[in-house]
Structures are given as structure tokens and as C-alpha cells.
Chains A and B, each alone.
Chain A
Amino acid sequence: MTRYTPPGQDGSVVSYESRYDHWIGGEYVPPQRGNYFENPSPVNGRPFTEIARGTAEDVERALDAAHGAAPAWGRTSAAERANVLNKIADRMEANLELLAVAETWENGKPVRETLAADIPLAIDHFRYFAGAIRAQEGSLSELDDDTVAYHFHEPLGVVAQIIPWNFPILMAVWKLAPALAAGNAVVLKPAEQTPASIHLLMSLIHDLLPPGVVNIVNGFGVEAGKPLASSARVAKVAFTGETTTGRLIMQYASENIKPVTLELGGKSPNIFFDDVSAKDDDFFDKALEGFTMFALNQGEVCTCPSRALIQRGHYADFLAAAVKRTEAIVPGNPLDTDTMVGAQASNDQLEKILSYLDIGRQEGAKVLTGGRRAELGGDLAGGYYVQPTIFEGDNAMRIFQEEIFGPVVSVTSFNDFEDAIKTANDTLYGLGAGVWTRDASTAYRAGRAIQAGRVWTNCYHLYPAHAAFGGYKQSGIGRENHKMMLEHYQQTKNLLVSYSPKKLGFF
């Protein structure tokens, strides 16, 4: 076991600055109105840095810088941009531990996750899009002997990206990598709950990017996010968050006739067919881990497997084993490499989860384990901790229908295949799902029948680049993590060329 020293203390691998201004045009720029807000660590609830409180004026400056940088950046060769992305990845890899500890302090998640998932995935994401842009080709259509349609990819120009707080660095990279690979300049607004770690990343990589290609404006949604999302000077808005803000961003985009990509969450079903329990083997063990994935990242994942559907034949036994596996989760200091579940990202997030634990009980759901705030005491007093919780209930309950975004899973049973699919699809959302079975035919048919963009089949919570990720239904628009995201950051230019000297004959 390793316990990392909190950032800023003697012996820590990383220190945050005491204040972060906006990153605009390759330098730090103070907020025009001179205001800052405190940024607490969820680990202990205490502020560790202060952050520029951006407003429309700051957004305009960032857009000026981005528009200044976009034309030249857009003209660089794909090879040149790919090299930049690869260098960013290398720089991050060389500083992996530093970034992981910083991200844990910022978000509250266990450092074993930032070390093994958040930061390595972010690194690979840059490398993937470095490769994807090198491999991307335009196309041509030979319309007839003398006429050819050429299709070129062109960058959109300046794009806006609004980043969530659950994976502050990884979610920023999911959006930055394709946008930069495609040749766009970016104005990015981090979440107000996790505004600092992206600056630590920029401090490591700023020399690799031309000034103005990436600009970071911090602040609150209403003060900085809205002027960015509603600006006529952005060619596209990318957002990860919730449905009301997603609709509002679409509304603003409609005023400017600009495209959006949205990732708005889900209420993902995780389906365990009877044959999972046919043997007590590695696969059974893996399925139990798959169930327990609801606690990964404290449940603060858009695809949290927060509804477990267990077939009746093995329901009692599988659930008993799942409760046992859940009770083996080690809570504790997020900076300790043995810790499996850390702190919720903010106090209001904690309060929301507690409000769902309350309505779940009122609706008659049974608490099989957990169900309360966890008071860890000592250095962690004041942090935002929740016990991993299993509810047993009915799919019509609120705890089955809304994303709690905490370490809470709601369990129900099903009779047969049709019943499983009916319950799985009885949701407003369609982002992720899990299917667990030893029968390949069942797995295939279930995967195709579930209305969700990603169906993990005999696995869960893998997020490799080169596998498309995005939602059906109210879960959003667009597919990230895949080369198809490049086209969400590109225009298509068609040159329709005649090589014939002969006129058409109309005039």
C-alpha cells in the first residue's frame, strides 16, 4: 500500500498553485472583473486553490485568441498535429503519477483509478486521435467520365467545449483530442466543481501547443458557460452533463444554427442471466465484479450500472454473493492505493445522493447494504463520503429511473429474455448497458435489443479509444472515443469538378 501525501504538503509529488487565472492565448490572464472562487478538495472539504471567476468579457478574450490561432492551426499538416498530440501523450505519461494524485485531490476519486484508468486512458486518447487523423482520408466520387466530386475534411474553426466534473482530465481529453486532431482551436470551460486539474495538465504541455489553440476559461455556468455556449463565434458546442442544460445548449445553438454534440447520462441496466451462476469459476467471479462496478468512481459515471436486473432462477444466490462483494469494497482516503471508493465530488452531490436514499426507502425499496453517509473521521472529516448501497425494488421507483450519480445500485428480478429487455428499455435514457451470460446467442440478441449506444457484453466500464461511445434516446447526440468523432469537428468541402471542355448546352 502507498498513501500519497496531499498536494502542496512536503513530500507530495505535486503542488497546485494558490491561484489560477484563465489560460488564454498561451498565457495566464486575470479575470476582467477581478473575481475568484475557492476550490475545495472533496477529500476533506477544504479549499486548496482559488480560480478565476470568468464572465462574458473573458469568454470574448478567449474567443479572440482562438480565432487568432485557428487559421494557422487548421492549415498545419495532419502529421504535424499528430506529432503534437503524441508529444502531449508522452509528456503526460512521464508525469502520470503527478497527474493522478492531482486529479484525485481535485475530484475525490481513489488514486488507484486515476493511476490505472483516468490518466492512462487520457494518454491513449491523444495517441489514438494522432493515429486516426493520419489515417483519415477524404473521398472522391467519379460521377462520369469527365466529372469528379472531391470530398475534403476541413476544420470547423473555433469550437466550445464544456466539461463535466466526474473525470475532469479524461473528459476534457475526450473532447480536446478529436477537436485538435481535426485542426480546430478550442475554448474550454471546466466544471466549476473541478476547475483546477486541467490547469495542471496545461502547465505540463503548454509549450507543445501554439498559443491560442487551447484556451481555458473558468467560472460558473450562468456567467461563463452561457456566453460561451450561446456565442455566435463558435462553430460547434460539445457538452457533457444533464438534460436541462443539454436542451438549453441546443436552444442557444439553434439561434446560431450551429451543431452540438451532447452526452447527457443514463440509467444503465446491467443484466445477469441465470447461466452466469452455472459454475463457480472465473466468469462468475468476473460477473460479480461487473455488478460491483456501480461503485467505480463513487458511481459518478454517466454509464454507472445503477440498475441490476437478475434472472429469477439464480436471483437469491447471485444477489447474496453480490452483497458480499459490495461489502468487501474498501472505503477510505482517496490518496491511499488500497482505497476502492473515495469521496463524492461535492457537497451538493452528496446531498442529492442522500435525498435519493431517502425517497428510495419511502417508495418501499429495501436496503440490502449501505444506505447512509459514511463518516470517515480523522483527516477525512468534512469530506463527502457515502456507503456503497444496494436497493432492492421495482423499476417504476424513482431510484430506478433517475441517475443518482452515487455508489447506489437498484436491483430487481426478471423472468425471461423478453422481460429483461422490457425492463432494461423502460427508461428515458440509453447510454450504456451490461449483459452477462455464458450463451453467445443470448448475449448477441440482448445486446441488439437494448436501446443503448454501448452494450458491454460480459464486461463493464471499459473505455478504450476506438470503441464508439454515445447515447440513444435522451442520452445525447454524437459518438465520442472513436474516429467518427472527427467528423463532428469537421466540415465537408465538396469540390465538384468538370474536366470536360464542352458546355452543357442550356445557354
Chain B
Amino acid sequence: MASRVELTPAAAQLLRKLGGDHGSLMFHQSGGCCDGSAPMCFPAGEFRTGGSDVLLAELPVEGLDQPVSFWMSTSQFERWRHTHLTVDVVQGRGSGFSLEAPEGVRFLIRSRLLTEEESAALDG
């Protein structure tokens, strides 16, 4: 089944650890400068989404009770919607208030183009 977002095994493993420490989790994809393309990870509900956001995915993570929601602002989504996003993890030290930074790692988005079939299924 077509999806817009998926997790690498390393991202899932990190989410398991963060979920153990912080409970239910969410992502909000950032834009703009500095750490602008990073998916920011928060305790679920910490970041208030609203009418100007889109829920792209509810990502199940083995070992976590709740799926991890993945949000993006609607305006940004309009410019990203033709791409499939994979949440990965790299060594580093991001700023922003994302939960993983103290672990010495950073969630990172890797992208590929959605196929026509995937786009049709998702946008249908």
C-alpha cells in the first residue's frame, strides 16, 4: 500500500528509546533556515497542530503502544507532496527542541519521488 512516510530501522530504534523516556511521540516537519529541513520529534501534543497542518502518516513502531504521527504545515506539504519521505537518523547535534538531540543524533529526511501509481493512490 502506498505511503508518504516511512522509518528506517535506525529511526524506529531511536523512537523506541525516546518513547520509553517520553511516552507517545509525534513529528512535525520543519522548514526554513538552520535546522529547517529536520523532522522535529516531540512528545505527542507538545506541538499544537491545527487547521494549517496535514497529518501525513501514523507510523507504527514495534514496541510502542501508540503510532508516531507525522505532521507538516499544509503550505509546505503542497510543495513536498510529490515526494516520499523516509525518516532516518544520523550522527550530529541539531538545534530546535527535538527530543533526540541530547542523544548526539539527529532525525533526517531522505526523499524519493512518488511513482505515478503511488501519487494516484495517495491523492485519489
Report if A and B associate in a common complex: yes
A337 within 8 Å of B (CB atoms):
no
Q: Which B43-60 residues have a C-beta within 8 angstroms of A? A: 46-48
Within 8 A of A (CB), among B31-79: 31-38, 40, 42, 46-48, 73, 75-76, 79
Stretch from A14-22, A96-104, A222-230, A444-452 at the B interface: A222-230
Contact of A165 among B34, B46, B113 (CB under 8 A): B34
In the assembled complex, the Cα of A166 lies from the Cα of B95 at a distance in Å of 11
Let me know if B92 and A398 touch, CB within 8 A. no
Q: Is A83 interfacial (CB-CB < 8 Å)?
A: no
> Which of A224-270 touch B at CB < 8 Å?
225-226, 229, 240-248, 251, 263-266
Q: What A residues does B109 contact at CB under 8 A? A: 355
Given contacts A265-B36, A398-B79, contact A226 B97 (CB under 8 A): yes
| 21 pairs, A vs B, C-beta closer than 8 Å | A37-B93, A166-B33, A221-B97, A223-B102, A225-B95, A241-B35, A241-B36, A242-B34, A242-B35, A245-B40, A248-B42, A251-B48, A265-B33, A265-B34, A348-B93, A348-B108, A398-B111, A403-B32, A405-B33, A405-B34, A428-B31
Q: Which of A106-114, A146-154, A358-366, A414-422 contacts B (4 or more CB under 8 A)?
A: A358-366
Q: Which residue of B lies closest to A349 (CB)?
A: B92
Q: What residues on B are CB-neighbors of A264 within 8 Å?
A: 32-33, 36
Known: A241-B32, A244-B31, A244-B96. A362 touches B112 (CB 8 A): yes
- The chain B residues found within 8 Å of chain A, CB to CB, are 28-38, 40, 42, 46-48, 73, 75-76, 79-80, 83, 90-99, 101-102, 104, 106, 108-113
Q: Which residues of B contact A193 (CB under 8 A)?
A: 93-95
User: In this complex, what residue of B is CB-closest to A222?
Assistant: B97
Question: Any chain B CB within 8 A of the CB of A460?
Answer: no
Contact A192 B93 (CB under 8 A): yes
Task: List, in ascending order, chain A residues with CB within 8 A of B36's CB.
Answer: 241-243, 264-265, 402-403, 405
**Shortest 5 CB-CB distances between A and B: which pairs?**
A265-B33, A348-B92, A265-B32, A244-B30, A348-B106
Tell whether, in the assembled complex, residue A347 and residue B90 are in contact, meaning their CB atoms are under 8 Å apart: yes
Do A348 and B30 have beta carbons less than 8 Å apart? no
Bound: A196/B48 CA distance, A = 33
- Rounded to whole angstroms, the CA-CA distance of A198 and B119 in the bound complex is 48
Given contacts A222-B102, A225-B97, A245-B97, contact A347 B91 (CB under 8 A): yes
Give complex CA distance A165, B36 in Å. Answer: 13
Collect the chain B residues with CB atoms within 8 Å of residue A247's CB.
47
Judge if A352 is at the interface, Cβ distance under 8 Å: yes
What residues on A are CB-neighbors of B110 within 8 Å?
A: 355, 358
Q: How far is the CA of A401 from the CA of B79 in the complex (A)?
A: 7
- Binary contact track A327-350/B, C-beta < 8 Å → 1, others 0: 000000000000000000011110
- Chain A residue at smallest Cβ distance from B29: A244
- Contact partners of B104 in chain A: CB under 8 A: 37
Inside 8 A of A244's CB, which chain B residues have their CB? 28-31, 40, 47, 96
A351 touches B83 (CB 8 A): no
Task: Select from chain A the residue with minimum beta-carbon distance to B30.
Answer: A244
Cβ–Cβ < 8 Å partners of A265 in chain B = 31-34, 36
Interface residues on A, range: 35 or more
Contact flags A293-331 to B (C-beta < 8 A → 1, else 0): 000000001100000000000000000000000000000
A412: Cβ under 8 A from any B Cβ: no
Q: Are B113 and A266 in contact (CB under 8 A)?
A: no
Q: Is the CB of B108 within 8 A of A243?
A: no
> Are A245 and B111 interface neighbours, CB within 8 A?
no
Given the contacts A348-B90, A358-B110, A405-B34, A222 and B47 also touching, CB distance less than 8 Å: no
Given the contacts A220-B102, A242-B30, A348 and B91 also touching, CB distance less than 8 Å: yes
Return chain A residues, CB-CB under 8 Å to B76.
243, 428
Instruction: Indicate whether A164 reaches chain B with its CB closer than 8 angstroms.
Output: yes
Contact yes or no, B93 A242, CB < 8 A: no
A220-B102, A221-B96, A265-B31 given; 16 more Cβ-contact pairs under 8 Å? A222-B99, A240-B33, A241-B35, A242-B33, A243-B32, A246-B32, A264-B33, A265-B34, A351-B92, A351-B106, A352-B38, A356-B37, A402-B36, A428-B31, A428-B76, A474-B32
A residues neighboring B (CB under 8 Å): 37, 53, 164-166, 191-193, 220-223, 225-226, 229, 240-248, 251, 263-266, 301-302, 346-349, 351-352, 355-356, 358-359, 362-363, 396, 398, 401-405, 428-429, 474-475
Say yes or no: B96 contacts A53, CB within 8 Å.
no
Q: Which residues of A sit under 8 angstroms from B38, Cβ to Cβ?
A: 242, 348, 352
CA distance A244 to B90 in the complex (A): 20
Contacts of B79 in A (CB 8 A): 396, 398, 401-402, 428
Whether the pair B75, A428 counts as a contact (CB closer than 8 A) is yes
Check if B111 sits within 8 Å of A358, measured CB to CB. yes
Beta-carbon contact of B96 and A166 below 8 Å: no
Given contacts A245-B96, A347-B90, A358-B111, contact A251 B47 (CB under 8 A): yes
Collect the chain A residues with CB atoms within 8 Å of residue B75's CB: 428, 474
For B28, B32, B95, B102, which residue has the most chain A Cβ atoms within 10 angstroms? B32
> How far, in angstroms, from A351 to B89 measured CA to CA in the complex?
10
B83 proximity list for chain A (CB < 8 A): 359, 398
Closest residue of B by beta carbon distance from A400: B79
Tell which of A223, A225, A229, A247 has the most Cβ of chain B within 10 Å.
Answer: A247
